[in-house]
Structure 1
Amino acid sequence: MSNFTFNSNSDSTNLAVPKLCDNRNNWSNYKPHIQKAMGSKGLWRHVQGTAIAPKLYAIVNGIPVLPDGKSEATEEQVEVKETRIIKFDKQEYLAQHVILSTTSTCLGAKIKDMKAAKEMWDAIKVDAITKSTLYLLDTEDQLASMKLSNSDDPKTHLAELKQHFQLMLQCHNNLIQMGSTLSDSRFNTIIMSSLPESYRPTLQMITAAERTSTVLGTSSLKKMKVDDLIAFFIEDAQHHVINDECTKSAESALAAHGKKWKKGKGGQGKKPEKPELDELCDNCNRPGHTKPNCWSKGGGKEEQGPRQKKSKKGEKKDESASVAEVKDEELFAFTCTSDYVTVAEALQVPKS
């Protein structure tokens, strides 16, 4: 559906008015738009027929005279009067032009020869709101057949839901202005039946609340306002958008944390892998490392272990001291009373 854009000499503001569809199904949207647009330009009084056209001064003996019929009008008075007449005619023709430009070719052909904007507007109203009973029934069936498809993306679904409700409200308003007796209770039922299968749990909740007459703080669904029901579904869809955003944020944070852990301390590469437990050192014959990493004598990291401290001068211990330590580790001694001296000697236990 195209729009008609116009402005006036009073200011440079452009105003867009939706065109009236051939089937007039956007009448409820067209009417307030054209009323406000033309009212902002000072044209609506011409459409309503309340604008009073100024009259020229009467001419007596070829001289314009004032309303008293005796006093001659000055040139300034005549000029002011003519300026007012020109302004009125411009506004009247502009109002007629807007009406013709925002209607269909077929409807425009019916009203183009009318002499006043009010006459045109009255003809449009009669054409738009005077419909047969059969037409109203067809339009109600069209409203009842409107269905909203489901979308996996919560944001997309919210936008489609709002547009869906806007179209339904527009169609409902058209029906009311055309004389339909469609009740709000029936319209509420149509709204709920137009929603996708994913709303089944929500609809069951509303139905259960209806049985207890506590739907959203109202006494019953039959007394519930249409706007409140629509607001309820939109709020529910917005809640799903918020939950989806929170879930995505949590997953992003978890992924970022995993990448940071892989980099290791200070972000200087990956964390070193643990040595293989089945590796056997060729130097000390112990598992868990190899000769280049061995702390024992002869290994690549000899005496670099955490418990192998150096002397105060930084020198290594003597080999003799090391041998002595090894020998000491191989011996053991114990203290006993004189009653066991004989036993100890028999066992040849070395004396400490």
Structure 2
Amino acid sequence: MSSTLSDQTPSFLFRIELLREDNWVPWKRRVTAILREQGLLKYTEGTERKPVPADAKAPTAEELEKARKWEELDGKVQTQIELTLSDSQMIHIAGAITAANMWKQLKLVKEARGKLGILLYHRRLYRTVADESTDIVEHVTEMCHTQEELGMLGSQVSDEDFLMLLITSLPESWDQFTTAYLGSTGNNPTITSHEFISIVLEENRRRIEKSGGGESAMYGCGKKTGWNQSSASKRSDGSDEMECWNCHKRGHTVAECWSKGGGQEGKGLARKGGKKKGRKAQSNQVAEPVNSDLAETSYHVDTQAQFSSHFARNDWLADSGTTSHISNSRQTFVDFKPLTEMNINGIGNQAIKALGRGTVLLDCKVGNKTITHRLKETLYAPNAINNLISISRLDDARMEAKFRKGQVQFLQNHSEVLATRKKINRLYLMNG
């Protein structure tokens, strides 16, 4: 075997995820590793320049051979980059004639520059905080990516500082767990951030398994869930002896727990006549310009979601048959996370794909004023005929519905916050 790896290791042997809008850091690391293994990394760095003959008018055969060899290897690097870009990212290398040009153009687009970029990522790192509904794995991954972005900009975050940021970013229900890993004497932690991350991920897996395991447990630790079908099936399977690790009572999971720190915190009192307390708590939010109450509900796709061709594609419809908000327009999202392998059944027997989830701002006209609602955990389904608002989630948000003559009004604190114009089947057209 030749000692020149670049001649023996073709790039097609390396299969990596294509570059998208949101995976620059891992993609860059993988491509860098491939080129380093092939001995071609210097072509992207621009340190291996094309040989120039001493006499441009009369180059020697040796000089021509060196130039040809350089063009061949630079072409290999260009091919490696081109074959690992998604269609939407090809535009960022337009006009580049060398591998170094391609790499430079991608970095200019993907990496924030200067002090402003450093400030942006520091702000993101310090403001990233998980709540009880946050997926802990995604949360830790996001913080690690932000730390790596800062490192690429030359602003290193020390391991001790990053560890403290990780600890303080976790939900309050983790406080008792994390305090054991802070220094018992002095101010110095007893472990590194990498060790702490491995411990947190292991504890997260343990909590998921203790909550019931499997797919339904993922809802319990990752997202807030209601008393849904999967919960009922657990009861029928004889698992009513399951212990909730939040309140340590039996018969329910942490996702269904009414106690403080549980997925259904405070909702037990509301069902038992404690609405007065709930309304008092909500009154503190009335002055907010954006209504966030619609976010404090479950993330669960109902396989009976309904759509209708009687309305326009961009209409928003209130539906009692789905437990997840659904939007068919990517432009409506103010934050977004891609999804894979998520199906929504609702158009006859045809399944449509949910390609992501995030937050949508929805303006609703009520009388002569417009109220903006923040719909978190909304599914992005580009093939959906309409946009759907889940009535069950509005109910979870402590809203009161009044149905009359084919219309419905949603009230909060006795004030109308959502209104519909007309009803067809089970769907109510929102007055937006």
| Larger Rg computed on CA atoms | 1
Please classify the TM superposition score into its range, dividing by the shorter chain length.
0.3 to 0.5
TM-score by length of 1: 0.44
TM-score by length of 2: 0.37
